[in-house]
Amino acid sequence: MVARSPYPRSVVKRTIKAHTGLNVSKNVDILLYLDYVLFMQELMRQANVQARKRGSATISPADLKKVSRDTLQKFKV
Structural domain contains residue 29: yes
Please give the radius of gyration of the chain, using alpha carbons only, rounded to the nearest integer: 16
What sign has the CA pseudo-torsion 44, 45, 50, 52? positive
| Count of domains for the chain | 1
What pLDDT is attached to residue 76?
86
CA distances (Å), origin 39, targets 26, 29, 34: 22, 15, 9
Residue 53 belongs to what domain range? 9-75
pLDDT tens digits in sequence order for the chain, 77 residues long? 777 778 888 888 888 889 989 888 888 888 988 999 999 999 999 999 999 999 999 999 999 999 999 999 998 87
Check which CATH number belongs to the domain holding 49 and give it.
Answer: 1.10.20.10
Give the integer Cα–Cα distance in Å for 7 and 40: 15
- Flag whether 39 is in a domain: yes
Residue at 73: amino acid letter:
Q
Does residue 2 form part of some domain?
no
The one-character DSSP state at 32 is: H
